[in-house]
Each structure stands twice: as C-alpha cells, then as structure tokens.
Structure 1
Amino acid sequence: MSASVTLGVMSIAEALAPAPPAGGYTLVIFVDGALALGAAAASALGDAAGLIPRAAEAASFKGKIGSALDILAPAGLAAQRLLVLGTAPDKEGEKVDYLRLGGLTVAKLGKAKLARILFDFASAPEDAAAAASDFALGLRLRGYKFDQFKTKKARKDDSENGGPVDLKIAGADGAAIAGIQGLADGVDLARTLVNLPPNLLYPESFADKAKELEKLGVEVEILDVPAMEALGMRALLGVGQGSKRPSRVVIMRWNGGSKDAKPVAFIGKGVCFDSGGVSLKPGAGMEDMKGDMAGAACVTGLMHALASRKAAVNAIGAIGLVENMPDGAAQRPGDIVAAMSGTTIEIINTDAEGRLVLADVLWHVQDAYKPAFMIDLATLTGAILVALGQEYAGLFSNNDELAQRLTEAGTKSGEKVWRMPLGPAYDKLIDSKFADIKNTGGRHAGSITAAQFLQRFVNDTPWAHLDIAGTGMAAATGDLNQSWGSGWGVRLLDRLVKDYYEKPE
C-alpha cells in the first residue's frame, strides 16, 4: 500500500558518492534541447560527459521532454547506470512542466531500486523552489502503487509493480520538497481508499480510517445511526437501510485559522458499494462500484493534506458513508422520505442515491457550521462522462467567484473543471406529483438535474458541486498516475485553499 517512492534530499557530493555495498545506483541528470548540462552535472560527469553526445547521435535523442538516454555501466562513474532525461518542452516557447517531469523520471527509471537525481539545469528555473516542489510531487504521484493484496511471487512477477523505492534528490530546495510530502500523502490516502475492496472498506471501517486523522490534530466526530435519526437524516438513512453495514457520517475539523474565521467546507459522497439497490445495476462492471466513494476519499485526503502542512485555515470535511444494497429492507421506487431539511423526496430510482446522501450532509453542514462556502464532490452521474469524458470534472455553482477560483485552481493543479449550467427551467424535470421533489429527472440533462436537486439543500451558502464520475475512479493513466483510484481533487482543493483562503501567519 501507499507510495513505492520515498524521497530524500542530499548534497551534490553525497549524490556522487560511491555506490553502497548493497548494490549500485542509477544517476539521473537532465539536458535541454541543445544537450547542455547543468553546472553540477558537468562537474559530476567530468570526462564521462563525452558519452552523451555520442549516445544521443546514435539514438536520435534531441533532449525533448519524455525522451531518455539510458547508458549502462558508464566508464568513469561510480553509478551502474546513467539516465539522461530531456527537458525541452513539446512546444517552442513553452515552460518546462516540472510536475510532469517528475512523473516521467519515475517512468524512465523502471525497475531501479535506488536513484540519485541531480536536480540541476543549464537554464535555472525562475522559481527554483517551486520547480523542485513540483518535481518532487511528480515523483511521488507517479510512484504510488497499490499491491497489498498481491502475493510476494505475484509482486515479483508483475513488471508493472517494479518501481524505484528510494530516490535521493541533490541540488534541490529541501524545504520545498519536504513541503509536498503531506499533500502527496493525502493523494495517496485518497487513492488507497478508492482502491480498497468493499469487503474491507465499508461505512464503519471508512469512518475508522478517517478517525486516524486525529493523529495530525484533526477533530473527528462520527455520527452513528441513532445520532442521524435524531437529526432527521432520513434521506441518507434510506439509502443504507438495505445493507447490514450501518451508515455513518463523519465530520472532520481542522482549526488552523483564527477563531472567528468562518470555516471552508468540503463534503464527499461515500457510497462504499453501490449495487443500485432495488433498481439493480447490470452485473457487468458492477465491481467498479467500490469506487462510488471517491468524493469522500478526496475529502479525507484533503483534510490529511491541510493538517499535514498546518494550513492557516479553518476547514471542515464531512462525508456521508453508506452501502446501497437490495435486501428486503431496502427502499423502493415509489417510497417517499423526508430529508433533514424537511423536504419530502419521492424515490423514482434507487440507483440515484448519491444525491440523497449529499442532501442531508449539505444541509447539516450549512446549518450547524455556517461555512464561508461548501464544495461537494461526488461520482454522481454517468451523464457527466457522456458530456466531458475523463478530462474534466463537471462544475456546478451558485456563486461566480467560487466557480472562477475553482477553475483557476484546476488549471494550475492540472485537475481541470468545466462549468455546467444551472437554472430554474431544469427544476421542472424533478418536480414530483406526490412529494416536494423526486430523486431523478430522467436521462435528459441528467448531471444538471442532479445538481439542481443538491442546490435545494444549500440555502444561500456559496456552493459548488463537482461531479467526478469521470475523474475519480477507473481513471485514465498518464504521466502522474498509474492507479485505478486517482485521488482526484485533493490537489485541486489544496491549491484552492492555498491560493485564496489561507491566511499567512
């Protein structure tokens, strides 16, 4: 479990020390499009620098980002292997993407178990600390793997699981690298929660894992079924009543800001397994429904990240944890339930359950904590996949400033969002003949009507809804992620808090 990559910071001299007795190491250096070396790399290689232009000519290596020269047993070096990575951007005039470069470095290292990386460039970055931080984060993100359920033999035989385990970075800002560790750990936590099987991750065990954040100074309150019944959370409880696993709501509080500052609030859908209930899903692919709690995983990972770096903000993370199962006690299409707000809801489809969970948690958070804003994350609708695929999460909001800030944070973090419309005309699709509202408006505008449903439970609080059905699980693999569970949203929301809501000391 967790990241396979561990990071350390060392001096240039330490990086070039002879290989340890246990075995050799890979020396990693960088060149630009002209194959120019940084000062430290040039000094480290000495006469061995002449290997690079000869090998580059033979391999047609032009120093482009994503390309590599792999020189084994380089003469004159203690390293067993010299790995030369290009840094020239794909497009002329484009800046080096150090986050991506970190991910590519891990990919090119392959099965190496020990590497010493000279973070040293011919053209120094404008902000060296930020570049080092991004690079180190890229190393950690790409290095994550989830193999705890593979036997030792399976792990040994699976080449995809053979990644570097110990990376030492020389020539980089140690404080900058240390600063990303908590964020990377938060992403790792979110990924692992999504990857865990539903027989091990269910409402009670998920709540226990959230409780572990108390070690970082997070206040954690767990609401059990009697507590939720007392609050009137009948929409949430209705979803879980067909499962033998009792539902839970977890409230996590990080108090890093001033006492009188309103908290910022993040709410996550945590359907630990979604069978569809009585409106049963097709059997093919149902195993993926263990990931229907990716929103709750993100919120938990975010709270870990904020607490780890002692963020100067008051933050609330609230997650509704349920299983949606179809036994004899399960709710039925045609049932009417009363949400905590008093709104009555006609159940049309028991597979439109996430919005019922979020409705009660959103209402509770806005009513009890009076936050500055609320952002919910949910693998809510297949319709958002049809609209946006896996490149963007759908963004719905009642507040233009919050929506714009989320969009900007998404561009900076690489976890992109695309704003979708809301409007009174869509409310007609979820009007009910028998109750105040029904839980689905049918196929047309499915992601929008789901957001319209949620908007009924936020009052005037600035609010944004992120539909992460395309980004939170079964994620597309790339330079920064090779995991089924992506941990999507932790970096986005951490960046949002850091850029706009965190007050410096």
Structure 2
Amino acid sequence: MISVDKLKKCDFKIVFVYEDESINTNRNLNDLPEKVNKVFYKKYKTSIPFIEEGGVSLLYVGLGEKSKFSFNKIKDIVAYSIKQIKKYEVEDIAIDISMFLKEYDVRCITEVVLGINLGLYELKNYKTSKKQEKYNIFIQGYEGYNEEKIVEEIRLGTNISDGVMLARDLVNTPANMLTPIIMAETIASIHEDTAVDVEVFDENYIKDIGMEAFYTVGKSSGNPPRLIVLRYLADPSSKDITALVGKGVTCDTGGYCLKPSNSMEGIKGDMAGGAAVAGAIYSLAKNNVKANVVGVIPASENRISRESFIPGDVIGSMSGKTIEVLNTDAEGRLILADAVTYAIQKEGASKIIDIATLTGSVGNALGFSTAGVLTNNDKFFKEFKEAYNKSGEQYWRFPICDEHRDMIKSNIADIKNMGKSYCGTITAGLFIEEFVENMPWIHLDIAGTAWVDTPLYEYQSKGATGAGLTSMYYLFLEKE
C-alpha cells in the first residue's frame, strides 16, 4: 500500500543522493554523516544503511553522477531501493522523492510507484506454507506540492503497475491452471469493475465465422480454444479504433514439430502477448484514458493429438486466404492472422498492433532487453516510438524488403507459415502483415523480453516481465 504522509515515522526512510552533490545541496538537510561519507561513494545502485542519533533508520541510495541520471532510471533505482529494504524485514517504509520532484516535477511519481510495486513483486509460488509479507510505503519530500495532486498521481501509477502485475501473474501461471477457458474467465473477472466490455466466444463460434487457421491450432487439445474480445470505447468524438491483438497460446508444445526438451519449461508463457493486451486495457480503463481500443486475444493450446495439424497441410483462414503449413511450431502467426481479420471485419479496427512471443530469432538478434518491431506505417511507428521512449522499454525496427516477402510465398497456397532458416523474425511478422488489409500496422515480437530467468533491471523479478504493456498504454495516453 502506498500513501502520503509528510511526518510519518517509519522503520526505515530511503534518501537518494547524487554522487557529485552533497545531500545538503539537494535536500536542504545536513550533509551525509562523516562516517558514511568515508565508506559510501554514492555510485549508481549502491546503498548504505545508517542509524542516526535518536534511532532514525535511513537507507542512503546512490544515484551516480547527476549528468548521467535520467527520468527512465527512476523506476529502476526505486525498485533497487525497495529490494534493499526488504532485507531488513520491516513494514513501514518512507521514501523521500524530493530529489525527483525537483528535476522532473509530478510526472516522476508514476515511475516511483512502478518502481515500488514492481520491486516488491515476486514470482507466484504454490507452496503449502508461504510467508505473507506486508509493506506500508509512505511518500515524503513533496513540500510545496498540492497533496491531492500527489495522491492522484499515485493512483494513476498504481493502476498502471496493477496492469503490469496482472499480466505477469497470467504468464507465470502454470498451463494446467490457465487453460484457454480459465484465461478467458480470469480476464473477464479482472475487468468486472472497469468500463471494458468483455465477450468470450467458444469453439463453435470460431468455426462458424470461418476462423479456420485459429481453430486448426486449437482443436489439437482437449482444452478448447476461446476468442477473448475486450472493448474499451471511451472516445465518442473519434471513429478510429485501434486493435491490440495478443497471442494467447497457453500451452505450446510445438505440435508435431515438437520443441526440444530444453525449451519445454517455457511453454506456459506463450500467451504473454495476450496478457499484455489484457493488462494494458485494464490500465487504460482504470485511468479513464480517452481512447477507443479493442483487444482481441485468440487463446488456445498447441498440443499433439489425432486432431492436430501436421507439416504439409493446407488450411484456410477467416480472410479467405489459404495457408501452407510447414512448421506446426509456427502456430502463433496462424492464430494471429485470424485474430487480425476478426478485429478489422467484426470490430471495425482502423489500426492494428499485434504483440506476441513469436520467434526465437528475435532473442538471437536483440537479446533479452530489446524487442523487435515491424511496421508498414512510419507515422504510426513514430507515435509508438514516442510512447516506448516514455515507458523506458527498448525496441528495434527491422527492415522490410521484397526479398523477405518472397520467402513466405507458397507454390500450392496463397502463403506459407515458414520462411528460410534466417530472417525468421522478419518473415514471421510479414506473414501477419498479409492479413492487415493495408491498415496501419505494428508488430511487436517480445519473445526475448517477455521472460527473464536472471532479471536485467531491478523492477523485474524472475519470470514474466509484462513486456509491451506500458508502451501500449503510453501510446494512447499521449494522444489524449
């Protein structure tokens, strides 16, 4: 719980210090105690606890050189601070944000709140005995600012972090506890107290409207597929509707193109794109952002059975195009193709963003800190770039050339679901582009960034990251 209280005496108080400035310069308080100065050099992400006379416990946290610190580091340093405090098993924690307010005004509070909540987040576990930890966080150091404004900014930031944690929880859930049906029920339940209209369609509807590519994947499992549609239409002055289309494969064995054994541990997380869509729309709705957004999540499993599709099959799609299947582990693009068509034909989408853990190639190319982007519209990408720069996420735009499109041409169908042994991220994205009907489109491949075994940033924990969510949120917030 995060609240404001200028005078609250807590178990610990976090104080931030620049490397090249004394605490007196920044906070109009006494210099760092001499004993601390001798051993604490205030480098970025370093800290030292200190108990002052009178029993006040402080945690001094270094920000490094002032010229090298930036807005996008606030979330990381706050999360670092929270993780350090957790070592001392305290409940009441004060955070002095005067340093950030001085440099960045109240817009810093969202980053502070994200740092606190994501720093406290841990991978869900299912042990029979669990230690329940409770923390009360008090924001301090906002003298000269309207307290009601500070409280409102905390509320807005909390709703964003709640969306991220919602997405993380979904991805971290074991596949036997998150079938397509359970995923649909969970997302519907989460949005009950929002202005989002959630509609869930079963396998019969999926077949009836011709989503053959989606159903072909989903019929391989005894857990039938579900089409989850979230409508957040909060801007009646605009006819534009942006569709967020998220891959929702809750269990991906690879089908008959079975994944190698060392990849099996991660097969529950192939619905991170769908989770990001659900979380982003939740945050947009809770913060009453003026936007028209429709989320489309094709939720299915990709298993092996007598009903499964196999390499060499030719299948149809909702668009009418035929698809030659060369790899059953390239199933994500199949379900996304139909979901994109659905968004355009049934929901009236005028712009498309699809997000998916689509290819291992993107991780090979960009590692685990940067996601891949393909787009057919420079203006749309510019807007998205502004959003991800604000969120602090990292993306890299891939080129699109005619020779890349040639790689997915089929001799026996309109398109094939696999290209060459190279350019895999590009050809996977271009497969989806074939179904966007010339609408402005952005494709986000988060296969490298959706999950971390060893966190790269302090606001991450082992497991799901919620990749893509904050960038999509800021895309709509900036348009208000």
The answer to whether TM tops 0.5 is yes
Tell me, yes or no, if structure 1 residue 63 matches structure 2 residue 39: no
CA–CA distance in structure 2, aligned partners of residues 378 and 93 of structure 1: 33
Mapped contact 2:217–2:308 kept (Cα < 8 A): yes
Partner of 2:368: 390
Structure 1 residue 169 corresponds to structure 2 residue 145: no
Name whichever of 460-469 and 432-441 sits farther off: 432-441
Q: Output one character per residue of 1:381-406: Cα deviation in whole Å (capped at 9) or x when no partner.
A: 11111111112111000101111222
Instruction: Kindly report which structure 2 residues correspond to 1:109-120, keeping only aligned pairs within 5 A, or say none.
Output: 109-111=85-87, 112-120=89-97
Is 1:9 the counterpart of 2:28? The answer is no
Aligned partner of 1:108 in structure 2 is 84
Aligned residues: 468
Offset at residue 307 of structure 1 (A): 0.8
SS of the equivalent of 1:142 reads: helix
Distance 1:236 1:266, change over 3 A: same
Q: Is the 8 A contact 1:396 1:421 kept in 2?
A: yes
State the Cα deviation string for residues 216-238 of structure 1 (Å, max 9, x = none).
Answer: 12101111111111110000000
Q: Deviations over 1:53-98 (max 9, x none)?
A: 2232342x122331212124x3213x4x321222344x63544632
User: What are the ranges of 5 or more consecutive residues in structure 1 without an aligned counterpart?
Assistant: 1-5, 20-24, 43-48, 157-161
Contact 2:124 2:172 in 1 (8 A): no
The partner residue of 2:241 within 249, 263, 283 is 263
| Contact kept in structure 2, 1:406 and 1:417, CA below 8 Å | no
Pick aligned residue for 2:161 from 173, 184, 187: 184
Deviation at 1:151, TM superposition (A): 3.2
Structure 1 residues 38 and 185: alpha-carbon distance in aligned structure 2, compared to 1, 3 A threshold: farther
In the TM superposition, what whole-angstrom CA distance separates every residue of 1:120-146 from its partner, at most 9, and x where no partner exists?
446852432112222122111211113
Change in CA separation of 1:29 and 1:454 when aligned onto 2, cut-off 3 Å: same
Alignment partner of 1:54 is 2:30: no
| SS of aligned partner of 2:192 | helix
SS at match of 1:92: helix
> Matched residue of 1:315: which SS?
strand
Deviation at 1:37, TM superposition (A): 4.0
The CA deviation at 1:461 is 0.8
- Aligned runs of 1:94-493 on 2, under 5 Å? 94-95=69-70, 97-111=73-87, 112-121=89-98, 125-152=102-129, 155-156=130-131, 165-172=135-142, 173-212=150-189, 213-258=191-236, 260-474=238-452, 476-477=454-455, 478-493=457-472
Query: CA separation in 2, counterparts of 1:369 and 1:475?
Result: 38
Give % identity.
32
Change (3 A) 1:262 1:123: closer
Query: Distance between the aligned counterparts of 1:271 and 1:359, measured in 2?
Result: 14
Q: Distance in 2 between matches of 1:445 and 1:307?
A: 37
- Stretch moving more, 96-105 or 362-371: 96-105
RMSD of aligned residue pairs (Cα, Å): 2.1
Compared with structure 1, are the counterparts of its residues 240 and 255 closer, same or farther at alpha carbon in structure 2 (3 Å cutoff)?
same
* Contact 1:263–1:314 under 8 Å retained in 2: yes
Range with greater deviation from structure 2 (294-303 or 172-181): 172-181
Report the Cα offset of residue 40 of structure 1. 7.2
Contact residue 396 and residue 451 of structure 1 kept, 8 A: yes
For the 8 Å contact 1:475–1:486, the answer to whether it is kept is no
1:28·1:116 contact (CA, 8 Å) conserved in 2? Answer: yes
Flag the 1:135–1:120 CA change in 2: closer, same or farther, 3 A.
Answer: closer
